Amino acid sequence: MTTRSIPLGPVMLDVEGTHVTDADRRRLIHPLAGGVILFTRNYLSAGQLAGLTEEIHALRNPPLVIAVDHEGGRVQRFRDGFAALPAMRELGWAWDHAQQEARQLAQEVGFVLATELLAHGVDLSLAPVLDIDRGASSVIGDRAFHSDPRVIGELARAVLHGFRQAGMNGVGKHFPGHGHVSADSHHEVPVDERTYEAIEAADLVPFRRLIEAGLGGIMPAHVIYPKVDDRPAGYSTVWLKQVLRGRLGFDGVIFSDDLSMEGARGAGGVTERARAALGAGCDMVLLCNSPQAVDDLLDNLGYAMPAVSLARLARMHGRLLAGGMPRLREDARYARALQAVAALGKREGELPLA
């Protein structure tokens, strides 16, 4: 296979199955492609996944960024051959009993999660979730660490530290906070009627803490906060440029949430949605589970990736682990972390999307 020298583009897309098809390859070498997001359908075994990611990375130089929603609990795309990661709520419960131990456990969870993905050629997990559990959102629920934003900041920072020890960055979601609304943005457009001051005092606390810790990426919510802006956060220059870039000083990658979700449809067709997200301040847009929509977007977007976005995206490549899982299983640090994670609670089910 010949590696093509093509600068990364602003679109993160998916692939159809467990290997790269001709149709996948055509999309992945398109100049607008910049990353790939994997799902459960893309996984059969450790060897197959490693082969898939190797093939994707070999298509281009610089290589496409390969990501996955791999949070633990209900949202863990790869299971057989991977550690059973707990829902992040388990770490919140641990905090309520012993704070320092919970910090250490959170770091170990982050290390196991990241090392296993890196050993299979995956650059990035779209985690951690920084939403506050207010008991209102079933789509967030136990994906959230806690109901206290300060605790979320402490535990998520520890998870990010574990990521970093392994050689992976993190993506905090869903900015500026999805936990206050009951509607699921996969299926409808949630509306959060709170003032900016109320959101700043609570929901922005964990985002600010993680930005201070050097978080590499943030994903905005497909939620409208009408007392701040009448557009969903992912299409809002107020939220992305004025608040996230300006007031919070974030200089990492802003990834849109999936543009095929119902919460994203207000901007029009898929090309209009992508333009709205990129114009509002996103560096990269996600489009999943619709090959025809991806083709339409690649044919019609016509967007040049700014140099600053290219620099930000380059920092999201992971430090892939040579030797894969056989080498990782020989690592004493991994073995200790795995033992600690095994003591935490289990999870059941899986959400269709993150």
Out of 192, 257, 258, 283, the active site residue is 257
Using the CB atoms, write b or e for 144-162: b if 16+ within 10 Å.
bbbebbebbbbbbbbbbbb
347 — phi, psi (to 5°)?
-130, 165
* Close Cβ partners of 192 (under 8 Å, ≥ 6 residues apart): 177, 180, 181, 199, 223, 224, 225
Q: Are 289 and 97 in contact (CB under 8 A)?
A: no
**Region label for 234, one of left (φ > 0), alpha (ψ between -120 and 50) or beta (otherwise):** alpha
User: Known catalytic residue: 180?
Assistant: no
Concatenated DSSP letters of 29-58: TSTTEEEEEE-GGG-S-HHHHHHHHHHHHH
Residue 9 and residue 197: Cα distance in Å, rounded?
36
Rg, the chain, Cα only: 19
User: Known catalytic residue: 295?
Assistant: no
Which tokens hold the place of 98? 């012993």
Which tokens hold the place of 159? 């998870």
Cα–Cα nearest to 191, from 221, 225, 158, 215: 225
Cα–Cα nearest to 255, from 228, 221, 224, 288: 221
| CA atoms within a 13 Å half-sphere pointing along the CA-CB vector of 87 | 22
- Residue found under tokens 């990782």: 328
Concatenated DSSP letters of 212-260: HTT--EEEE-S-B-TTT-SSBGGG-HIIIIIIIIIIS---SEEEEEETT
* Whether residue 306 has a cis bond before it, omega within 30° of 0: no
Out of 186, 192, 229, 258, the active site residue is 186
Give the distance from CA 125 to its chain's centroid. Answer: 5
Active site residues: 186, 257
